[in-house]
Chain A
Amino acid sequence: MATLTRQDLNFGQVVADILCEFLEVAIHLILYVREIYPSGIFQKRKKYNVPVQMSCHPDLNQYIQDTLHCVKPLIEKNEAEKVVVVIMDKEHHPVERFVFEISQPPLLSISSETLLSHVEQLLRAMILKISVCDAVLDNNPPGCTFTVLVHTREAATRNMEKVQVIKDFPWIVADEQEVHMEEAKLIPLKTMTSDILKMQLYVEEKTQKT
């Protein structure tokens, strides 16, 4: 049984690949479930062996892809603490925050055999949770938009400023207004624990959405 450690060359990349793939699916799904965009732009696809919804609007897709492309190096280096999909109302006040809290175990090694199928199961569970999360959430006011925030560890931000992964797609420090939500209620959706990754998804919801 081969065991890989974090120090192995591609370990961080493997995690980042898996995670970014998942995040892409998740973001699309969140946008669909929370009705940020008209459901007409979404198509049913299959991922992790479950049906998911994916936007077919090229600009939106590009935005999501670019964003995740930039997140990836951070995840590789274990510098991303949280990836947050913030849903904001017309006044750009956040009403919901889907927080993917990521932590990668520092020293654990992984065994490659059961890994992938196991992780896939966990991710699938998370996707399923997202697709039913509207049951526990209040409806959003009309005209919502979304944005993606990344909480980095340590001084990762500085590197991000220096190195633009995608040209003309820089990161900026989020407005306090976008990050902070008053009287938020926290709804945990799913926690997954695997050898390579520990992630939990919870939603922070504004108490009064209107």
Chain B
Amino acid sequence: MSRDGWRKKASEDDGWGGRGGYMAAKISKLEEQFQKDAPREKQKDGTSSCIFSGVAIYVNGYTDPCADELRRLMMLHGGQFHLYYTRSKTTHIIASNLPNSKIKELKGEKVVRPEWITDSIKAGRLLSYVQYQLYAKQKGLNFTSVCAQGKQDLSSRHEPSKPSPSHPQSHSIKPQPNNTQTLSKEVLKSTHTNHTATNFTERTNHQLDVRLNGSCSIISEDDAERPRVNGIHDGDDVVDDDDDACALLPRGSQDTLLTNGYVHPVNGALKPQDSFAEHPPHVVDTGSHQSHLPQAESRDGEEPSCSYAGSKTNSHQRSLISTVSPAKQTGLYNMQKDLHPKPTSNPGTSAAPQKGNLHSQTRVRLNGSYHLSPNSSTLADSNNQPGRSGQGAEAGIISEFFSHSRLHHISTWRNEFSEYVNTLQSRRHAAGGTVFSGKEKLKKLKANCSSGSLMAAPQVRQSCILHVDMDCFFVSVGIRHRPDLIGKPVAVTSNRGPGRVAHRPGANPQLEFQYYQRKQKQYRKEKTDGDLEMTPSPHGDEVPSNGVDLDLAALSMAEIASCSYEARQAGVRNGMFFGRAKQLCPDLQSVPYDFQAYKEVALSMYETLASYTHNIEALSCDEALVDATNLLVELGVTPDDLARAIREDIKQKTGCSASVGMGSNILLARMATRKAKPNGQYFLRSEEVDDFIRDQPVSSLPGVGRSMSSKLTSLDVSTCGDLQQLSICRLQREFGPRTGQTLFRFCRGLDDRPVRSEKERKSVSAEMNYNIRFTQVEEAESFLSNLSMEVQKRLEGAGLRGRRITLKVMMRKAGAPVEPAKYGGHGICDNFARSVLLAQPTDSGQLIAAEAIKLFHAMKLDVKDMRGVGLQVQQLEGSHAGPSGQGPSRGRSIKDLLLAKQPAHSPKKDPLPQDGLPSPSSSSAFSSNQERVTPPSSPLPSTSSDPMPGTSKGGPYHPHTPNHVRTCLNVSIEVPSPSQVDQSVLEALPVDIRKQVEQTWRQREELPSTSSHLSTPPRTSSSPPPGPSLVLQLPNQPGQPCTTGIILELPDFSQVDPDVFAALPRELQEELCSAYRNKGNAQVHAQAQCSAVEQKKTFPQLKQPAVGKLKRRYKKKNTSPAKKGPSPQKKLFPGNSPAKSSPSKTLPLPLKQPGLKTENVQCPSTDVPETLSKFNPRPVPTLAGAYEFSDIRTLLREWVTTISEPMEEDILQVVKYCTELVEDKDLEKLYLVIKYMKRLMQQSSESVWSMAFDFILDNVQVVVQQTYGSTLKIS
């Protein structure tokens, strides 16, 4: 109430137009007063300057010196003093003490200690406020001490390259900046000073020179310079804008500033003089101009690389320019001299062109183009351009980045190889057996040598894991064809020079190194504080080894990706900077990256492994785990033999050596590899394990990284033996229950992780922390959009959609250098992350972008300080088929890999039927398909009764299938039996390929008994000829000869071995039965085109299975409802089926569209609005295209009343629909549907129906339970 009253009063017209009016008037009066007082004060005091020109302070609370004194100082030195704080005008807040609440309130403002003012006056120039900040903007370390240290180091080292403070000539030219036309009146007014003052400041400057110069390369100093420089150039009123402009271009402006920084001492010293436009002693002579400017240029030339720091996209070209720029700059200077040939004795006028010179130089350096604009007032503008044009926000840069990023390449390979292994495996599953060439060879070898040279293998069946790891992969690949380098220290790195690069101004490697060093120290200190145990840090020595060396400024920062063992002996390590490595090992040869070769070698390594077994887990491009347990038993060889064979094979095929570690589990195998390296093998026998592991350092255990091992060190644990002494309780207390247990097991050599050839992806992300420099929010936004598109691409590639979107941002740490030591790198950063959970999974880049931008805004970050952006999508589930983003592209990567190998695909070349290893096309398409639908390990029921017909919808030509065809390796290819092939995939194949596949089948069927083991239908792994049921569902392809062909070619029933038949899974038996029945039923062929009629035929046939059988099947389904029920594919059916010609093998007609039955339409579901799924991010759940409850009800009634026994597919459709309803949060409809079905089905005379209902209900309840934690109440 009271607030309202107050507001009312305030809004009344009190003559001041409310508070705003009054305050505005008061503030402006105060300002006037201040301006009026300033000259008087200056006269009185005698000393004056315009150090603080452009600075407007507001004193908050108690300070020393007091506010009045500060006000006076500001008057004297050209600053502004605000009695009232205004966010827009006040540039700095002076305070020595602020309560927390105020700090929060002033977030983002520069709150500075008063010493800043006094020190700046003492220094005669505006010091960086950063060191005087009352608190750091972002929580974190304060850099003060580091800075100070850095300064000293720098000042001693950089001495030669900076302008000598005692250079008389340079002194005399400096005044220019202040004499520009745009100089504001106040500044001009404040030009009364006497000589002594000048001398005084000059003196102080000399004293301070060393320090000041030293700090030039510390960015924070330069930061502070911005306001000053700009203030001088453009007058007070534009200060804010300029400040912004500068701030927007951290890199670009930095350059400018740096120039100023370098000439600083002089500048500072003469500042007071500058203001004396007519002061006699400061007549500037042209000679000194000339002498200085080249000097300045040469200085510039010393840091060519930095001049292009602002450029992003084409940094390469630019840096080329930069190396020649000093010369050009000189030329430029001369040109400018021509433009202003006669510097008069009046410094005021002569200085202006000079200033122009300086600035045009700056500009040249900034954007690499050669604008000549002698007028300094355009500086800000011209500055802006390079900054903007150089941004990474440009479209396409992201994909370009990723397509060029080496790390990205390599890191994706792992996935690719995992895929590859998956493909191999599923293919094998599909076809029941593969010829493992390597295995065969080994077998032969064994047979040959069985005379006794090979030891009889231990016949004990003990698990054996092989860890195959290439020896310094990148190097050995790199020198494969360069025998001259063998045996020499070699490193793979991008740097090919002598290991030295020029120093870039703006970068401050020292500061960064010291930061990390300090962090290390602090870390150590913390630790010792915590434990009171003075244990030497295990990693203390790593810091220097990483090359924290004051010399490093000039050393190459290119990292070494891999180095040879010879180089390692010299102390070179992977990840070390090349410059440093070169110091350690002067002979070090560098080898460039060769990604094509890596790919080739990695691929042939995997091929080699795959020729032995398919139980491979891809760890990376050069590392894999092989579960050789079965293989060894089968071959009867020792692990050592196998390892030897594999290594020889790899060596022979790739020319690179590999090491193999063997152990009874993954952990031991990996540890053994360490011992095996280089180019060796080691079998860690189970009896040796205890002794072996006792001496292993804890850090060799997986999951024990830096922090954990130091924690362990604090527990006095350094080896696994020590770790064994700790009880599991202790470990769990220290590290948490899971980690504790893992450690407990690992240190005893226990590891039950299986070799997993398929790993589920947890997240899909795209991240970029190189070259991120934004100046504007819009750029960041468009960058996010682009990044989202990249994520979308990847999601589509993986056939996944995710619900959780996480935005990760790296922000420059407060006080960290604006320009990191590594070119384009991110430097020292704080990491922030935020995430949002979407209502439904998505793979739409737009949606992701919208969310990401929202998150981004919520974080309220300064775009200028952004150094890295990442988007991650988690909580993944399989994607439903988008028109383009269909699953097969998940295999795309392998395809790419293999494309290089098998350049072109022609169907004729397909290895074919005769050998029984037929067309790859269907198998690969199938396998990739299957991958998404179900784990390949359980191909049987899921594929044969796959209720998700839409897996590969699309045009008649599956956009990806041709690629798939190409993905086939020449090793072991087979066509899966018809029942295993998703019909829709088959359909989507190009006609010729499809024919081939079908031909293969036909051939297979034709010789059922002759080629007994390959093509007799009743094989256990690949299922027999349910072909008819398959093909009959091709109502849309009446022209296909194959539709009936397969049926006719079913082997005669008499030829089917009854025993084998009995051994088949129930489903297959049914399938077979119905197939044979179909075969008998001649009219079916005639009606093949009319699904309606056909359907009627199929239903009665399904009556045959006994009730008990059905029941069992349902039970089985029940055990894995989670997998089945909410399977991602379910979304396929409703929205997508229209695009697809034949949704499912056994088309449940009644479910399709009730009306169609009589209408006999070709494509039953075409009338479902396709747009539904396209425009609505979440398609409305539909059952066979119907989504209105009344339609559903009709459909259900139709189904239950017309059919005496439900088909499993239909039931699954209904379950799927119900699950969708749950996910769509439409419980009401679900409830109605369930209740309706209950009524219908339980009333039905057939008991199967009520069982069907139970099955549906059970499944739905599980889903509901998962989603809501409780089950539906069905009375």
Q: What are the residues of chain A within 8 A of B838 when measuring CB–CB?
A: 106
A136 CA to B1235 CA, complexed, in Å: 13
A123-170 contacts to B (CB < 8 Å): 136, 153-154
Q: What are the residues of chain A within 8 A of B1272 when measuring CB–CB?
A: 185-188
Q: What are the residues of chain B within 8 A of A188 when measuring CB–CB?
A: 1227-1228, 1230-1231, 1272
Q: What are the residues of chain A within 8 A of B1271 when measuring CB–CB?
A: 184-186
Q: Given A103-B839, A107-B1177, does the pair A189, B1228 have CB atoms closer than 8 Å?
A: yes
CB of B839 within 8 A of CB of A185, answer no
Contact with A190, one of B1177, B1228, B1264, B1270 (Cβ below 8 angstroms): B1228
B139: CB under 8 A from chain A? Answer: no
A198: CB under 8 A from chain B? Answer: yes
Q: Given A106-B847, A154-B836, does the pair A191, B1229 have CB atoms closer than 8 Å?
A: yes
A24: CB under 8 A from chain B? Answer: no
A183 CA to B1268 CA, complexed, in Å: 12
B1249-1275 contacts to A (CB < 8 Å): 1264, 1268-1273, 1275
Chain B interface, >50% SS class: mixed
A185 CA to B1265 CA, complexed, in Å: 10
Q: What are the residues of chain B within 8 A of A184 when measuring CB–CB?
A: 1269-1271
For A194-210 the 0/1 string (1 means CB < 8 A from B) is 00001010101100000
A185 CA to B1273 CA, complexed, in Å: 5
A35: CB under 8 A from chain B? Answer: no
A119: CB under 8 A from chain B? Answer: no
Q: Given A154-B837, A191-B1225, does the pair A186, B1273 have CB atoms closer than 8 Å?
A: yes
Taking the nearest CB of chain B, how far is it from the CB of A97, in angstroms?
Answer: 9
B397: CB under 8 A from chain A? Answer: no
Q: What are the residues of chain A within 8 A of B835 when measuring CB–CB?
A: 154
A186 CA to B1261 CA, complexed, in Å: 10
A18: CB under 8 A from chain B? Answer: no
- Residue from B839, B851, B1275 with most neighbouring chain A CB atoms (10 Å): B839
B1226: CB under 8 A from chain A? Answer: yes
Q: Given A107-B847, A107-B1177, does the pair A185, B1227 have CB atoms closer than 8 Å?
A: no
B103: CB under 8 A from chain A? Answer: no
Taking the nearest CB of chain A, how far is it from the CB of B1126, in angstroms?
Answer: 17
CB of B1270 within 8 A of CB of A107, answer no
B835-855 contacts to A (CB < 8 Å): 835-839, 847, 850-851
CB of A186 within 8 A of CB of B837, answer no
CB of A200 within 8 A of CB of B850, answer no
Q: Given A106-B847, A106-B850, A204-B1268, does the pair A187, B1231 have CB atoms closer than 8 Å?
A: yes
Q: What are the residues of chain B within 8 A of A183 when measuring CB–CB?
A: 1270
Task: Name the residue on A nearest B839 (C-beta).
Answer: A103
A202 CA to B837 CA, complexed, in Å: 22
Number of B residues, CB within 8 Å of A: 24
Taking the nearest CB of chain A, how far is it from the CB of B1180, in angstroms?
Answer: 9
Q: What are the residues of chain B within 8 A of A200 when measuring CB–CB?
A: 1225-1228
A181: CB under 8 A from chain B? Answer: yes
A66: CB under 8 A from chain B? Answer: no
Task: Name the residue on A nearest B1273 (C-beta).
Answer: A185
Taking the nearest CB of chain A, how far is it from the CB of B1094, in angstroms?
Answer: 37
Chain A interface, >50% SS class: strand
Task: Name the residue on A nearest B1264 (C-beta).
Answer: A186
Task: Name the residue on A nearest B842 (C-beta).
Answer: A106
For B808-841 the 0/1 string (1 means CB < 8 A from A) is 0000000000000000000000000001111100
Task: Name the residue on A nearest B1180 (C-beta).
Answer: A193
- Residue from B837, B850, B1231, B1275 with most neighbouring chain A CB atoms (10 Å): B1231
Taking the nearest CB of chain A, how far is it from the CB of B1272, in angstroms?
Answer: 5
Task: Name the residue on B nearest A126 (C-beta).
Answer: B1228
CB of A103 within 8 A of CB of B1225, answer yes
Task: Name the residue on A nearest B1261 (C-beta).
Answer: A186
Task: Name the residue on A nearest B1265 (C-beta).
Answer: A186
A120: CB under 8 A from chain B? Answer: no
Q: What are the residues of chain B within 8 A of A191 when measuring CB–CB?
A: 1225-1229
Task: Name the residue on B nearest A154 (C-beta).
Answer: B836
B1199-1244 contacts to A (CB < 8 Å): 1225-1231
Q: What are the residues of chain A within 8 A of B1270 when measuring CB–CB?
A: 181, 183-186, 204
A101: CB under 8 A from chain B? Answer: yes
Q: What are the residues of chain A within 8 A of B851 when measuring CB–CB?
A: 106
CB of B1227 within 8 A of CB of A186, answer yes
Task: Name the residue on B nearest A204 (C-beta).
Answer: B1270
B450-488 contacts to A (CB < 8 Å): none
Taking the nearest CB of chain B, how far is it from the CB of A157, in angstroms?
Answer: 14
A106 CA to B839 CA, complexed, in Å: 9
For A172-186 the 0/1 string (1 means CB < 8 A from B) is 000000000101111
A200 CA to B1264 CA, complexed, in Å: 14
Q: What are the residues of chain A within 8 A of B1273 when measuring CB–CB?
A: 136, 185-187, 205
Q: What are the residues of chain B within 8 A of A186 when measuring CB–CB?
A: 1227, 1264, 1268, 1270-1273
A198 CA to B1228 CA, complexed, in Å: 13
Taking the nearest CB of chain B, how far is it from the CB of A92, in angstroms?
Answer: 19
A9 CA to B1230 CA, complexed, in Å: 36
CB of A101 within 8 A of CB of B1225, answer yes
CB of A198 within 8 A of CB of B1231, answer no
A181 CA to B1273 CA, complexed, in Å: 14
Q: Given A184-B1269, A189-B1228, A200-B1226, does the pair A153, B1177 have CB atoms closer than 8 Å?
A: no
A66 CA to B1269 CA, complexed, in Å: 29
Taking the nearest CB of chain B, how far is it from the CB of A152, in angstroms?
Answer: 11
B36-82 contacts to A (CB < 8 Å): none
Q: What are the residues of chain B within 8 A of A106 when measuring CB–CB?
A: 838-839, 847, 850-851
A183 CA to B1269 CA, complexed, in Å: 9
A123 CA to B778 CA, complexed, in Å: 41
A186 CA to B836 CA, complexed, in Å: 28
A189 CA to B1273 CA, complexed, in Å: 11
Taking the nearest CB of chain A, how far is it from the CB of B845, in angstroms?
Answer: 13
Taking the nearest CB of chain B, how far is it from the CB of A105, in angstroms?
Answer: 8
Taking the nearest CB of chain A, how far is it from the CB of B509, in angstroms?
Answer: 38
A183 CA to B1273 CA, complexed, in Å: 11
Taking the nearest CB of chain B, how far is it from the CB of A161, in angstroms?
Answer: 16
Taking the nearest CB of chain B, how far is it from the CB of A156, in angstroms?
Answer: 11
Taking the nearest CB of chain B, how far is it from the CB of A12, in angstroms?
Answer: 13
Taking the nearest CB of chain A, how far is it from the CB of B1232, in angstroms?
Answer: 8
B759-773 contacts to A (CB < 8 Å): none
A135 CA to B323 CA, complexed, in Å: 85
A84-101 contacts to B (CB < 8 Å): 101
Q: What are the residues of chain B within 8 A of A154 when measuring CB–CB?
A: 835-837
Task: Name the residue on B nearest A155 (C-beta).
Answer: B834
CB of A153 within 8 A of CB of B837, answer yes
Taking the nearest CB of chain B, how far is it from the CB of A106, in angstroms?
Answer: 7
A191 CA to B1232 CA, complexed, in Å: 11
Task: Name the residue on B nearest A187 (C-beta).
Answer: B1273
B276-290 contacts to A (CB < 8 Å): none
Q: What are the residues of chain A within 8 A of B1228 when measuring CB–CB?
A: 188-191, 200, 202
- Residue from A106, A154, A190 with most neighbouring chain B CB atoms (10 Å): A106
Q: What are the residues of chain B within 8 A of A189 when measuring CB–CB?
A: 1228
Task: Name the residue on A nearest B1275 (C-beta).
Answer: A136
A202 CA to B1269 CA, complexed, in Å: 13
Task: Name the residue on B nearest A181 (C-beta).
Answer: B1270
Q: What are the residues of chain A within 8 A of B1230 when measuring CB–CB?
A: 188
Task: Name the residue on A nearest B1272 (C-beta).
Answer: A186
Taking the nearest CB of chain B, how far is it from the CB of A165, in angstroms?
Answer: 15
Taking the nearest CB of chain A, how far is it from the CB of B1260, in angstroms?
Answer: 11
A103 CA to B1268 CA, complexed, in Å: 15
A103 CA to B1224 CA, complexed, in Å: 11
Taking the nearest CB of chain B, how far is it from the CB of A202, in angstroms?
Answer: 5
A-B pairs with beta carbons under 8 Å apart, 17 shown = A103-B1225, A106-B847, A107-B1177, A136-B1275, A153-B837, A154-B836, A184-B1270, A184-B1271, A185-B1272, A186-B1227, A186-B1268, A186-B1271, A188-B1272, A189-B1228, A198-B1225, A204-B1268, A204-B1270
Give 10 new A-B contacts, CB below 8 A, not counting A186-B1271, A187-B1272, A200-B1226.
A154-B835, A184-B1271, A186-B1264, A186-B1268, A186-B1270, A186-B1272, A188-B1228, A188-B1231, A200-B1228, A202-B1228
